[in-house]
Amino acid sequence: MKSRVVVALLALAAALLPARTVPAEDPVAALSLIRPKPAKEAPDFEARTPDDRPIRLADYRGKVIFLNFWATWCEPCREEMPGMERLHRRYKDRGLVVLAVSLDSQGARVVNPFLKKLGLTFPVALDPKMTVRERYGVWAVPSTFIIDRAGRRALYANGAREWDSPAAHALMESLLK
C-alpha cells in the first residue's frame, strides 16, 4: 500500500514539474533536404499549362517557389500531391507558389484527368520533351526544388516527402518571413 502511495506522489510531482523545453528539430534535417552550396540561380523556363497557356518561372520571382517534377505514372508522386495541395492552400496568400512540372510524354491528355481527380489547384507546367527537367538536372521523380525569394535554388529533395507535415510547415514559415 505504501509503495502505491509513493508511486502516485512521484507521478503527481513529475506531472507538476515544468516541462523542459526541447528545441524543435531542424525542418531541413527532418525532411532530409539537401542545401546546395553555394545556392545557384534557378534557371528560368517557359512551358505550357494543361489548358495551353504559357507559364514562366520568372513570373513568380520574388516569391518562394516550390518547384516539383513529377509524372502521373509515378506512385510516390501521386502520394505526395495531396500534401502539396494542402501546402499550396495554406501558404499561397503569404508568398508561396507551388509549381508542378509534369514529365508525362502524353501531356495534357493524361495530366488533366489526374488534376481533376485529385482536385489540384496549384499551377502545373507540361514538359513532355523534358527540356525543363534537363535544365534542372532531374533524373528521378519526384524531385523538388525550393527556390528562395532571390531566385536561388535553396533546397532540394529527391524522392517523395510529407509536405503537409509539421516540419514542412516550419520550413515554409521560416522561408516566408
Mean pLDDT of 28-34: 96
Mean pLDDT of 153-166: 97
pLDDT for position 6: 38
pLDDT for position 2: 57
C-alpha cell of residue 1? 500500500
Instruction: Yes or no: say if 153 and 147 are a contact pair by the CB < 8 Å rule.
Output: yes
DSSP state of 46: E
| pLDDT tens column, 57-84 | 999 999 999 999 999 999 999 999 999 9
pLDDT for position 12: 40
| pLDDT tens column, 126-154 | 999 999 999 999 999 999 999 999 999 99
pLDDT for position 25: 80
- Angle CA(163)–CA(20)–CA(171) in degrees, nearest 5? 20
- Beta strand 96-102 with 64-70 is parallel
Q: Which residues contact 50 (CB under 8 A, 6 or more apart)?
A: 102, 107, 108, 111, 112, 115, 124, 126
Of residues 130, 77, 87, the one with CA closest to residue 107:
130
Radius of gyration from C-alpha coordinates of the chain: 21
Domains by residue range for the chain, with CATH: 32-175 (3.40.30.10)
- The answer on pLDDT for 9 being more than 50 is no
Residue-averaged pLDDT of the chain: 90
What pTM does this model have?
0.85
